[in-house]
Structure 1
């Protein structure tokens, strides 16, 4: 785990690669359960939310960022984490939102707030061979500071008489925005055809 980190990527004040490394290990270990993998195949969007929540929990334990202690606030308000000791109202530089995605570039949110974002890019490996013994592999971690103008509104297809996604915001040109924001890249995976694939599987 000591390899794969890029020291040139800007990080939120006080957050370091060692804390991110421990958070990756914690999250992969916590999700290394067949029941979680069954959930992934049934509800992939729910699984992404769970990965993001474990990332939040890990950073709350191993870094100088803490989550909201009131469970209602933690579930409904931005940010997921704030720098310990930061005074209210929070400055964007003291805010850290935890996201997870199986897609290589996209970032989606229900808000378009300014602040720091950490994105846990993961894949699920039922064979547990990409990273030996792990069902879930966090293959890249992006860290980026976003402002309101980086977001675009993506609307909603939900309706009273039908299902559909609620309104969201997405980052404009995410591949360009995140080009130099990968603080961690697992050496055993690379992008091919827009998808993360194992190098040893070629």
Structure 2
């Protein structure tokens, strides 16, 4: 496989540019980008306790304790991927969190397929794969709220500009990045905009507001 060029040092997510590109919306109505956090899900949950608005999105350039399903660690190489979480207040029962997972995985798969003309498969319940390798994953966590819609945190991790050596030996056999599949670097900012737009559209269609 040809060697993928390193990401330029100016490859940063810019919250104001993301917000401005989305226009009127719920998902992305407020966007924060932090350099590093333990987990974007935990960061959003902390903000939810202070009445943060539905649709708040927190991106991290790196996570020190990212996690996936069943508490499995999620490797979040700094400035290589999209690591973010969305605060939602869907009017669904707490036992229906699987509907949110299905919605998010399908939206991610659709966006990757459209933006990069790739064949994408969803491996239930929460893995998004290209050419048999895991590219992205989703973790939905819900918290019950008395007399109010439950709080849902939808965490999303997408491997964007990783090179093979950016993965641990444990993961390198089963994981890949969009850059590895396409043999070129991808624009994280532009893909984030496309994905947030699709998440917004499909969330409204699936759950209403």
TM above 0.5: no
Using the size of structure 2 for normalisation, the TM-score is 0.27
TM-score by length of structure 1 reads 0.28
Q: Which has the higher strand share?
A: 1
